[in-house]
């Protein structure tokens, strides 16, 4: 008889735990059989970005077995019930929104046979869900007549080598006499205005005079230039080293671009690069709170 009772209880527990894998409605308390169960206490909340963190104290009842937490999901317009074990004292509610104001959470404890105790409620608010950005970079197909420089080396490294897709060719500013001091630039004249952008560069294969300090400038007339960034760290020095810039957001359109070398790694009066690419960037912004 004792053996039968033991396995009966185990069977009931298994059935109940399987049912807990799904959202379930609050079980009815027959004749107040679960009324002796205490509910959780000292419930607190923390608003996080697009989330609500809930924490509570576990009741001391030895009969307490499971905890059901129910609330209304405003995003899906559905009622949700979550089941946690006796050992759980916190939960993170995902996909919440600040714009919905107060969420009401209902806590109810259950014993091993599915009898429920008292229900307690708690109100909490979500932190603002973060804005997300989708960035799409499209390479601008440049032609040689769109590129220019103020200090071309006459004997080698023509500037059109920057866009020939050959990592073994290179562009070189003037190393022959008479040399002129830095700064020196690469200029790109665009066929159409752009605003947000980024660039890619590939260092020369072999002998290196790679840029170390660079100004990024833009213009709409090719005469008046605005410096929008100073690159003082992160540019690579190694042979055929690659570099892709962050996205620049000047807040305006422009039709002329300059990459101005202020200093090379060897502090020479000339620099070189193997490849250079300019990208038109589109940024799609999604605000889940709107």
- pLDDT tens across 12-21, in order? 343 344 344 4
The count of C-alpha atoms lying within 13 angstroms of the C-alpha of 141, restricted to the half-sphere facing its C-beta, is: 0
Burial per residue of 100-130, b for 16 or more beta-carbon CB atoms within 10 angstroms, e otherwise: eeebebbbbbbbbebbbbeebebebebbebe
- DSSP3 helix / strand / coil % (the chain, rounded to 5): 10, 45, 45
Q: What percentage of the chain carries pLDDT values higher than 70?
A: 87
pLDDT (tens digit, 9 = 90+) per residue, 155-190? 999 999 999 999 999 999 999 999 999 999 999 999
Instruction: Identify the weakest region by mean pLDDT among 31-40, 150-159, 268-277.
Output: 31-40
Nearest to 288 by CA among 131, 125, 133: 131
β-bridge partners, 200? 244, 277
Q: Does residue 11 carry a pLDDT above 50?
A: no
Q: Mean pLDDT over residues 103-109, rounded?
A: 96
Q: Mean pLDDT over residues 234-252, rounded?
A: 96
pTM of the predicted structure, to 2 decimals = 0.73
Nearest to 201 by CA among 270, 279, 144: 279
**pLDDT, position 62:** 64
What whole-number distance in Å separates Cα of residue 111 and Cα of residue 103?
26
- CA-CA distances (angstroms) from residue 2 to 24, 113, 176, 223, 259? 31, 17, 101, 96, 86
β-bridge partners, 214? 231, 261
What whole-number distance in Å separates Cα of residue 239 and Cα of residue 232?
19
Q: Mean pLDDT over residues 208-213, rounded?
A: 92
**pLDDT, position 113:** 85
Going by pLDDT thresholds of 50, 70 and 90, the confidence category of residue 245 is very high
SS3 label, residue 116: strand
Q: Does residue 248 carry a pLDDT above 60?
A: yes
Is the distance from CB of 231 to CB of 263 less than 8 angstroms?
no
Q: Mean pLDDT over residues 76-89, rounded?
A: 94
pLDDT (tens digit, 9 = 90+) per residue, 31-45? 334 456 788 899 999
Higher pLDDT, 30 or 262: 262
Q: Mean pLDDT over residues 9-14, rounded?
A: 38
What whole-number distance in Å separates Cα of residue 173 and Cα of residue 142?
20
Retrieve residue 214's tokens: 């660079």
Q: What is the dihedral of CA 81, 86, 91, 96, to 10 degrees?
A: 10
Is the distance from CB of 116 to CB of 266 less than 8 angstroms?
no
What whole-number distance in Å separates Cα of residue 217 and Cα of residue 260?
8
Nearest to 185 by CA among 200, 171, 199: 171
Retrieve residue 184's tokens: 């020196």
What whole-number distance in Å separates Cα of residue 189 and Cα of residue 255?
6
Across all residues in the chain, what is the average pLDDT? 88
SS3 label, residue 110: strand
CA-based R_g, the chain, Å = 33
Retrieve residue 281's tokens: 């960037």
**pLDDT, position 78:** 97
Residue matched to tokens 């077995």: 65
Higher pLDDT, 249 or 115: 249
| Residue 172 exposed, middle or buried by CB count within 10 Å (0-12, 13-18, 19+) | buried
**pLDDT, position 65:** 86
């Amino acid at each position: 008889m004792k053996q039968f009772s033991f396995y009966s209880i185990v069977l009931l527990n298994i059935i109940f735990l399987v049912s807990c894998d799904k959202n379930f409605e609050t079980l009815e308390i027959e004749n107040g059989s679960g009324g002796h169960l205490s509910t959780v206490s000292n419930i607190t909340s923390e608003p996080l970005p697009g989330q609500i963190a809930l924490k509570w104290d576990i009741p001391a009842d030895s009969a307490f077995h499971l905890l059901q937490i129910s609330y209304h999901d405003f995003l899906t317009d559905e009622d949700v019930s979550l089941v946690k074990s006796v050992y759980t004292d916190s939960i993170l509610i995902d996909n919440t929104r600040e714009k919905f104001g107060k969420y009401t959470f209902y806590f109810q404890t259950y014993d091993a046979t599915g009898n429920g105790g008292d229900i307690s409620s708690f109100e909490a608010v979500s932190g603002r869900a973060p804005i997300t950005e989708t960035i799409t970079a499209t390479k601008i197909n440049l032609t040689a007549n769109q590129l220019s420089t103020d200090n071309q080396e006459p004997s080698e490294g023509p500037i059109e080598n920057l866009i020939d897709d050959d990592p073994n060719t290179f562009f070189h500013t003037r190393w022959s006499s008479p040399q002129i001091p830095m700064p020196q630039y690469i200029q790109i004249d665009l066929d159409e205005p752009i605003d947000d952008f980024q660039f890619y560069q590939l260092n020369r294969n072999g002998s290196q005079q790679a840029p170390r300090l660079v100004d990024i400038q833009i213009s709409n007339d090719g005469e008046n230039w605005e410096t929008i960034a100073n690159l003082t760290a992160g540019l690579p020095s190694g042979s055929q080293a690659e570099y892709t810039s962050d996205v620049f957001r000047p807040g305006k359109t422009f039709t002329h671009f300059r990459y101005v070398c202020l200093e090379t790694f060897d502090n020479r009066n000339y620099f070189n690069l193997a490849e250079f690419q300019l990208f038109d960037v589109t940024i799609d912004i999604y605000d889940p709170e709107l």
